[in-house]
Structure 1
């Protein structure tokens, strides 16, 4: 399982990736903006009992957020939900970064 600070970093990054402000995200999870700010600033521990709603609003699984499943399972689950065109794009990109990695 991820540490509190790891969970908070993922939440913060996911909020930004989704284009939410902290105020907008706070509304989505039915919390105050100040409470979200306290989590992001590590002034309060992340409330594990809120994992499901946070994950839902961020478009991730609870297992990914908390780190209770391995990355391969997550990758395969996402890959299997892609349409054929996007699967091909992802595979092309994977080959590209693999080749680049091995040329070092």
Structure 2
């Protein structure tokens, strides 16, 4: 698990990557700008009881912020992607589902059959 300094370094990187201001973080977390400033200035420890708010504001999981493992599911990964990449994942998943639903399977009969051809169902 990350310590306070490591959490704040990660949040600073996320803040820079997403080009977010302290005011925007404040608005998204519903925490006063003065408190947000104290966390980033290290004059106050990161509030673990508000972890979920920060995770949502930065569009990451609480487990990612803390660096703890959790069984990963596709939704967690998908939600961390930028919108453009989410569209690609969705499109690919839809294509795979369509192919799966439209697959034809053959049943081969041992011996002879009247028609002589495999039976297909879909």
Give the CA RMSD over aligned residues.
3.0
Q: 1:99: which partner in 2?
A: none
Q: Tell me the TM-score normalised to structure 2 length.
A: 0.58
In the alignment of these two chains, the number of paired residues is 86
Runs of 4+ in 1 over 2 A off after TM superposition: 81-84
The whole-number CA distance in structure 1 between the counterparts of 2:37 and 2:13 is 13
Q: Which structure: larger Rg?
A: 2
Kindly state the Cα deviation for residue 12 of structure 1 after the two structures are TM-superposed.
1.4
Which of the pair is proportionally richer in strand?
2
TM-score by length of 1: 0.67
- 1 CA distance for matches of 2:27 and 2:57? 10
* Aligned equivalents of 1:26, 1:11: Cα separation in 2: 13
Aligned to 2:64: 64
Q: What is the CA deviation profile of residues 18-65 of structure 1, one whole-angstrom value per residue up to 9, with x for unaligned ones?
A: 121111111111111111111011111100011111001101110010
| 1:16 counterpart = 2:16 | yes
What are structure 1's unaligned runs of at least 5 residues? 88-104
Instruction: Show the counterpart of 2:106.
Output: none
